[in-house]
Structure formats: structure tokens, C-alpha cells
């Protein structure tokens, strides 16, 4: 069987590195759905590891829903759409590339979902909820902080809004979404953002001001405007190609 070339795994937990490389090979369709992975012996030889590491790596892939393992029949690749949502991060950003098509699909799902969560959050808001929003607002506004930490404060804001709904399912969904948004591939993609997280602050302030004045309709409108941007995962990804150098320009 043809072996896809791999690099020697890093000396961390070997099976995690092997699993990551096999995962990317599947996501890149080097192992298409329905195809069997090479036998453990061949993979162990290719990676330069023992068969136990390969076996553990395949268990990771099975847990992600990328392969089906049958005793005596090896591991068969499953369609990616059957896999875990945990794969969205590496599917969106890997190898220095961002899949803008998948970003658009994720936005299409997230935006209406978050708008409904925001509506319930405003409807069920209590005065005791507001200090947590203000604290996160201050983190987002603090230009002295690391930019990724400020984006993570926005992810925490989604969780606070979910808690305001008093709905356990929304609370679970928001925490799962926060974990997804904090995956390393998406953090890498955020490094390409053009604008500052502080642009969200006026929308947060408008929502807080309306809540302080007990104007839920205004608060709902302000929050919807905020969530419309938060839910647009790809709105600020830098899609611009480097501008060509003008002729005669100095180097």
C-alpha cells in the first residue's frame, strides 16, 4: 500500500504527534473517505515509532470520528462531516492556510444561533449580571493587554450571555463554542486580523447603558449588533494579498 510521507514526530507524547499528522492527511483528502489507513506496522516504520504509539494515535482519530476501527480489518476513514466538531479548528486553519469557505459556513450557523441566545439573555437579565459584563468589557478595551487575551474576553462574554439566559443547554453550547474558538488553529487565524478588539467596546457600552436605563428593547438592539459581528467569524480575516511593489520602488 502506498505510504503518504510524514515527518518524524516531535519528542512530546509521540502518539499525539502521529495522530495530528494523520488527522491532517485525512482532512487534506490524502486518505479519502472509505479508504483504509496503512497497517500499523507500515505506519510505525514510516513515523519511526513503535506500534503502540500508532495504535494510540488511531484511537485518537477514532474518538474524533475520523476513522472506524474493526478488529482484524484495520482503520477505515469516515466522511469528515461525520466527525467531531472539535475538528473545525484544524479544518479552518492549518499549514498556514485559512479555509475562508468553511469560515463562511461557520458564520452562517453561528450568527442566528447567537442572536437568539442574546435575545433571551436580555429578556432574562438581572442587575447582578452586569458587573461580569463590565469586567470583560474593560479587558477588551485594555490596549496594554495581549490581543489574544482580549479576544478571549469576548469568548468569555458569550458564556456570560449564555448564563444570563438561565438555560442549561445554552450554557453548555456557549462553553463548547468558547473552547472551539480558543483552539490553537483559530488563535493562529486571529493573528491575521486587521482590526483591534476594542472596536467591540462601543457596542458593549451601548448595551450596558440601555440595561442601566432599563430599556430592554434598546439593549436587545445593541446586543444584536454586537453579536452580529461576533458571530461573523471571518469578517476581519485578512484576505488581502500582498500589494505588488511598484516599478522602480526602492527595496
Domain boundaries, the chain: 14-83, 87-230
User: Which residue has 477514532 as its cell numbers?
Assistant: 62
Which residues fall within 8 angstroms of residue 170, CB to CB, at 6 or more apart?
A: 117, 120, 162
Q: Give the model confidence (pLDDT) of 161-205 as tens digits.
A: 999 999 999 999 999 989 988 888 778 777 776 668 888 999 999
Give yes or no for residue 117 having a pLDDT over 60. Answer: yes
Give yes or no for residue 243 having a pLDDT over 60. Answer: no
CA 71 to chain centroid, in Å, comes to: 33
Strand locations in 120-236, DSSP E?
none
Cell of 78: 469516515
Confidence at residue 248, expressed as pLDDT on a 0 to 100 scale: 45
* Helix (H) or strand (E) segment spanning residue 15: helix 14-27
Task: State mean pLDDT over 220-227.
Answer: 87
Give yes or no for residue 56 having a pLDDT over 70. Answer: yes
CATH architecture of 14-83: Orthogonal Bundle (1.10)
Sign of the dihedral defined by the CA atoms of residues 22, 26, 30, 31, in that order: positive
Q: Are 154 and 200 in contact (CB under 8 A)?
A: yes
The answer to whether 14-83 and 87-230 have equal CATH topology is no
CATH superfamily to which 87-230 belongs = GntR ligand-binding domain-like (1.20.120.530)
Nearest alpha carbon to residue 36 among 72, 83, 88: 72
Q: Give the model confidence (pLDDT) of 69-116 as tens digits.
A: 998 889 999 999 999 988 988 898 877 777 888 888 988 888 888 899
Q: Are 75 and 35 in contact (CB under 8 A)?
A: no
Query: If DSSP codes are grouped into helix, strand and coil, which group holds residue 98?
Result: strand
pLDDT band at 134 (very low <50, low <70, confident <90, very high): very high
Amino acid at each position: 500500500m502506498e505510504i503518504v510521507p510524514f515527518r518524524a514526530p516531535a519528542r512530546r507524547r509521540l502518539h499525539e504527534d502521529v495522530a495530528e499528522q494523520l488527522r491532517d492527511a485525512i482532512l487534506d483528502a490524502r486518505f479519502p473517505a472509505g479508504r483504509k489507513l496503512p497497517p500499523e506496522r507500515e505506519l510505525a516504520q514510516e513515523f519511526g515509532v513503535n506500534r503502540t504509539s500508532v495504535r494510540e494515535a488511531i484511537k485518537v482519530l477514532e474518538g474524533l470520528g475520523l476513522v472506524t476501527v474493526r478488529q482484524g480489518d484495520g482503520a477505515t476513514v469516515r466522511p469528515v462531516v461525520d466527525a467531531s466538531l472539535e475538528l473545525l479548528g484544524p479544518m479552518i486553519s492549518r499549514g498556514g492556510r485559512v479555509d475562508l469557505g468553511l469560515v463562511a459556513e461557520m458564520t452562517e450557523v453561528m450568527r442566528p444561533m447567537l442572536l437568539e441566545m442574546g435575545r433571551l439573555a436580555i429578556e432574562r437579565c438581572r442587575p447582578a449580571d452586569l458587573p461580569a459584563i463590565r469586567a470583560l468589557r474593560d479587558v477588551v478595551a485594555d490596549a496594554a493587554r495581549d490581543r489574544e487575551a482580549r479576544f478571549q474576553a469576548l469568548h468569555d462574554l458569550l458564556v456570560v450571555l449564555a448564563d444570563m439566559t438561565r438555560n442549561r443547554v445554552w450554557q453548555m453550547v456557549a462553553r463548547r463554542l468558547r473552547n472551539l474558538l480558543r483552539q490553537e488553529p483559530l488563535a493562529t487565524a486571529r493573528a491575521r486580523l486587521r482590526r483591534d478588539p476594542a472596536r467591540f467596546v462601543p457596542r458593549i457600552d451601548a448595551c450596558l447603558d440601555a440595561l442601566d436605563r432599563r430599556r430592554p428593547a434598546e439593549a436587545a438592539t445593541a446586543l444584536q449588533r454586537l453579536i452580529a459581528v461576533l458571530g461573523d467569524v471571518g469578517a476581519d480575516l485578512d484576505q488581502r494579498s500582498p500589494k505588488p511593489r511598484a516599478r522602480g520602488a526602492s527595496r
